[in-house]
A and B are shown apart, each in its own frame.
Chain A
Amino acid sequence: MSHRCGKKNLAVHGVLLLALVAACLVSLLAGAVPLPADDVWHSGILRLRLARTLLGVVAGAGLSAAGVIFQAILRNPLAEPYVLGVSSGAGLGAALAMVLGLGAAGAWTLPATAFAGALGTILLVYALARTPAGAAPVQTLLLSGVVVSAVLGSILMFVVSVAPAEKLHGIVWWLLGNLQIFDWGLLRIVSAVVAAGLAVSVLFARDLNLMALGEEPAVHLGLDVEWTKKLFFLLASLMTGATVAACGLIGFVGLIVPHTVRLVAGPDHRRLVPASALAGGAFLVSADSVARTIIAPREVPIGVITAILGGPFFLGLLRRRKASYRD
């Protein structure tokens, strides 16, 4: 039994790793400008594409893992950073830092403010949905997420509207979601945060299984539920914040990827978290290859592509949930 599990792990993760490598290769080769045959490295094109591909891997992995975490902790298949408003909160934090010119203080300011926005949002949404008895019913939680997201979105629009003209184009383009990155320092920070967040999530993945069972059954199995919720809200906010700081609002990745991966890897989070991270990287890198080439030489914001794929996906899940759940 344990043996068979090990083999299945290896097979699923091996295939996803291959897919990730293939997606990265395609991303490095594809683009509006062909790679020069000689002196590939010094042309700068490859370096830019490398940064972009790396960011795609990191962002896809971070958003997918955050989606898996929210779905398990909130016991709702529709939970995801974008849907819960956590992405909007992170976006607001980073946008404020940009407009106020805090970015000059160091590459870490954007991820830090985005993280603060993300954590603040999930805590607010959770506090709004929480009943006096201490539980947070899943339906009210999603509803508060939608409302908080709408309010934060409006504040975000206001912040953008008062942004100085010379910053406006950059901020808008960032908000739409894209993987262009010019700051290697930011890329390094974001990569480190997501890698650390993933590592801790994998370490505690068994607790996510118990949380998926329900809070009370998890308590009966000896889990410290309140501590576990705090830990994973923190991890998901860190990964979402870092990702949003670097590439803006990219929606639905945390929905599409975990659900698809569950079909092959099953629901065990010890397998699902790493598998979703690999698949998320491959998915976002591939989506970016499409975004760069579909109307070349112009570019489609990657957030547009994930939303066009993710919207119908969300509605499909909602329909299925309506059909199979009594609540």
Chain B
Amino acid sequence: MLSLQNISAGYAGRPVLQNVAMDIAAGEFVGLIGPNGSGKTTLLRVISGVLPAWQGEVWLGGRKLREMGRRNVARIVAHLLQECALGLAFSVREVVLMGRSPHLPRFGRETERDFALVASAMDLANVSHIADRPITEISGGERQRAFIAMCLAQEPRVLLLDEPTSHLDIGHQLSILNLLRNLNRRARMTVVAVFHDLNLAAEYCDRLVLLDRGRVVAAGTPVNVLTAEMILGVYGVSVLVGRNPLSGGPHIVLAPGGCPGIGHESAIPRHN
């Protein structure tokens, strides 16, 4: 579905990504993890084509991304931003309807099919009951679900998400991640998401890609990527990696202040 070949990219002469390569198959749920500034968001922007790569090539469904044209890309890839500051009081329904834009004829109006897709996207994201409320007057969790509904109305085959749950409480976090898992499993939607919470990433992703200072340092199943050595090396933090008793997946236990028995304080490298 997606293939990145030797991508280097950055902003105004400041390189962020160096020689990043990865392949993502259709229907995969991939998590991008790594410390702040490691290039996760930049990588997502390169994949969606907003930020042109300095070097390398992004392939989307067998075609070169940079030769596809914005509207054609938007019919395949939807991108949920970390935060969307919309100052105007559009209703939730109007915002979700904007997701249909790449599919509408240039000067045409929405058809019944578009309204039907919007209704089912709002059902899936659980925002139908607030369809007519202004987007500016709903809670952060509701707003995030509204923008997810907008992305779903886009009928994407690839869904990119930048920290989809970072400002939400655990109830909303799980409801959104369960929604994404359902879309991924039932509709075979390819999902690529940036995560800060390693445990959530471990639970929901088929595969994790660990970035550090613009390079891929590990990629594979959560069990293979989330090892105590790897986390110490990249984040500079000693942790205990156990098992989630409910799911069997890897579970990271933090050691506040460097607890004895997990690692000696002197053994922890200073992170700069």
Q: Chain A interface (Cβ within 8 Å of chain B)? A: 1-2, 75-77, 132-133, 203, 206, 209-210, 212-214, 216-217, 219-224, 262, 266-268, 325
Contact = CB atoms under 8 A, between A and B. Distances in A.
Given A2-B109, A2-B112, A220 B85 contact: no
A216 B12 contact: no
B101 to A, nearest CB: 5
Contacts of A222: 70-75, 101-102
5 contacts: A75-B87, A77-B87, A213-B95, A223-B101, A266-B94
A42 B102 CA distance: 57
B246 interface: no
B50 A219 contact: yes
B101 A210 contact: yes
A267 B88 contact: yes
B86 interface: yes
A213 B50 contact: no
B6 to A, nearest CB: 23
A262 B99 CA distance: 22
Given A221-B101, A222-B101, A203 B107 contact: yes
A222 B84 CA distance: 17
Contacts of B81: 214, 216-217, 220
Contacts of B94: 209, 266-268
Interface of B: 11-12, 48, 50, 70-75, 77-79, 81, 84-91, 93-95, 98-99, 101-102, 104, 107, 109-110, 112, 115, 154
Residue among A75, A222, A266 having the largest count of chain B Cβ atoms under 10 Å = A222
A213 B89 CA distance: 11
B161 to A, nearest CB: 12
A219 B93 CA distance: 20
A221 B75 CA distance: 8
A267 B86 CA distance: 11
A221 B98 contact: yes
A279 B85 CA distance: 28
Contacts of A216: 50, 81
Contacts of A203: 107
A266 B97 CA distance: 15
Nearest to A213: B86
Contacts of A262: 88-89
Residue among B73, B88, B89, B90 having the largest count of chain A Cβ atoms under 10 Å = B88
Contacts of A213: 84, 86, 95, 98
A221 B102 contact: yes
Contacts of B115: 1-2
A268 B101 contact: no
A127 B175 CA distance: 44
A172 to B, nearest CB: 38
Contacts of B77: 220
Contact of A267 (B89, B99, B110, B154): B89
A262 B94 CA distance: 14
Given A2-B109, A203-B107, A209 B98 contact: yes
A265 B171 CA distance: 36
Contacts of A214: 81, 84-86
A267 B78 CA distance: 24
A219 B90 contact: no
Interface pairs A-B: 10 shortest CB-CB? A222-B74, A222-B102, A222-B71, A267-B88, A220-B79, A221-B101, A132-B12, A1-B115, A222-B70, A267-B90
